[in-house]
Structure formats: structure tokens, C-alpha cells
Amino acid sequence: MPELPEVETVRRGLAPVMEGHRIARAQVNRPDLRWPFPRDMAARLTGRRVEALRRRSKYILADLDSGESLLIHLGMSGRMQVSGDPLGHFAHAHAAPEKHDHVILEMEGGARIIFNDPRRFGAMDLLPTANQEAHKLLASLGPEPLGNAFDELYLVSALRGRGTPIKSALLDQRIVAGLGNIYVCEALYRARISPRRRAGRIAAARVAALVPVIRQVLLDAIDAGGSSLRDHRQANGDLGYFQHSFDVYGREGSACRTEGCAGTVRRITQSARSSFYCPRCQR
């Protein structure tokens, strides 16, 4: 499932053709994805100007001049693809319709945005912009890891006394929003913290040092266009390439990349997810 860097990469790709532009026509080709689409979604989108395009955790939010926001979740296989951009950001001509093109936004000026989702685990909803933090998908989210509220004092306080492994704690969206399996593995490796360690038993100084490490891992991944392991594509159709920089994720049995370390990357299962780490470097 796309994590924060993949969603942010898609948001940045969509911004030039959505922000400040009007949706000339919206087409909805089925009644639902993971959940039913909101009532009259096509009509409520058609003619609306996109005032801003934002990201909250793993969701994209398009604020409309109607006072509503379009919430987009890519799910497991969802893609937002842009074609026909007259500003020259996207060289792709409009493609022939495909079976899983579930929502199509024709923008004024000629750009077309297609939401394609073969597995249909994605979602779209319309919610009041002024009260969006009360939405069921957003209400319990913790601070953004790239925002000011996620700092050393916050993380030390949030993890104090917790008996869960640090890996599980960082995946808890109520503690920090947007982190997923890949980037938690990579951040813990850079911080030299074992994913097995109990969150509440890690020294405060080591927890505090995690904050800039998490931020840097995410920024590095965004700069690389995210990680394309199966379905992720940028809005222009290109693959991300951060997967070529993984230190531990997916590298079970490979030599640790830390200079002077003779360790081997190991994979364990935590909460039904794979954790990758070097047992020699990460304590």
C-alpha cells in the first residue's frame, strides 16, 4: 500500500493541473470502490474550482470552491494518471479507456486525470472542508512526521511507558500519521534501533534522535519519487526509484551496508508484517 512518500509524490504531480483549475466534467464509472461513492459525486465535482491540493497522512485532499473537499485514498493499487496537460508538465496524450478507469476528471484547459484501481481498495469521499478533521478517516490521526507538531518532545512523550515494540508503535497512525512498513524499517536501521525493542524502554535521547532520521528517510524517498514495488506510479506515469536505495527492506540474507559490520539482514514477522533489520547494528 502506498505510504506517505508515494502519496506526496502523487499530490505534487497533480498540483500543477489541479490547483487553481476548474473541473470541467467529472465522470464516475461505478457506484463504489472500497466503499460507495458519495451521492451525486460527479455533479458535485463538475464545475468546481480546486482551491488547494493537500495531503493528510496517506490521503490526498482537494479543497473545492463549493466548501467541500474531495478525499482520495489510493488503496493497494490505485493510480492517479495525468494526460494532455497544456502547460507541458505531462507529455502523454490521452490514453484509450481502460477497464479499471473508475473516476475521470476533465480539467479546463485540456488536462485529464484518471483514477485507475484494479483491486478497488481505494476510496473517494466528499466532506465539508471546514470540518474535515472530524471525518472518520482523519479524526484519530496523529501529527504529520514532516510537520512542526512532530518533534523530539512529542515522540518521547508519546512512547513513554508503551510496552509494544517500537516498530509497531511507529506504525500506529494515532502516534504519527503516514508511516508504513517500508519507511519504519529504513528509519530504524538508520537510527540503529532494533524493531524488537519495547518502545517505552528505549532511552529518551535515542527516541529523540529518531525524529530527524524519520524526516530524512521520508524526504529522501519523496525526492526519489517514492518506492515502486508493484503498483505505484507517479502522476506522469513514471516509476519511483527509492527501492534501489533500501538499506534493509526486502534485503533478507544480504550483507549489512554499515561499514565494518559483518551482519546479515534478517526478516522477522511482527503483527503479521515483515520487519527487516540487522541484528548486529540495531540494538
Query: What is the SS3 assignment for 222?
Result: helix
Q: In the chain, pLDDT over 90 holds for what percent of residues?
A: 86
Taking only the tens place, the pLDDT of each residue in 79-133 is 999 988 655 555 556 676 778 999 999 999 899 999 999 999 999 999 999 999 9
Q: For residue range 129-155, list pLDDT tens digits in order.
A: 999 999 999 999 999 999 999 999 999
Question: What is the pLDDT at residue 94?
Answer: 65
The architecture CATH gives domain 152-246: Orthogonal Bundle (1.10)
Residue 99 CA to residue 258 CA, distance in Å, equals: 46
Phi-psi map region of 32: left, alpha, beta (phi>0 left; psi -120 to 50 alpha): beta
pLDDT at 36: 97
Residue 164 falls in which region: left (phi positive, over 0), alpha (psi -120 to 50) or beta = beta
pLDDT of residue 135: 96
User: Annotated catalytic, 3?
Assistant: yes
Which CATH architecture describes the domain 4-134?
Alpha-Beta Barrel (3.20)
273 among known catalytic residues: yes
Quick check: is 99 catalytic?
Answer: no
Q: Is the pTM of this model over 0.85?
A: yes
Name the catalytic one among 3, 6, 68, 186: 3
Q: Exactly one of 2, 16, 145, 195 is catalytic; name it.
A: 2
Amino acid at 9: T
Give the residue ranges of the chain where pLDDT is below 70. 85-94, 96, 230-231
In which residue ranges of the chain is CATH 3.20.190.10 found?
A: 4-134
> Contact, 85 vs 111, CB < 8 A?
yes
Residues of the chain with CATH 1.10.8.50: 152-246
pLDDT value, residue 1: 76
The active-site residue out of 22, 257, 273, 280 is 273
Given 58, 79, 190, 251, the catalytic residue = 58
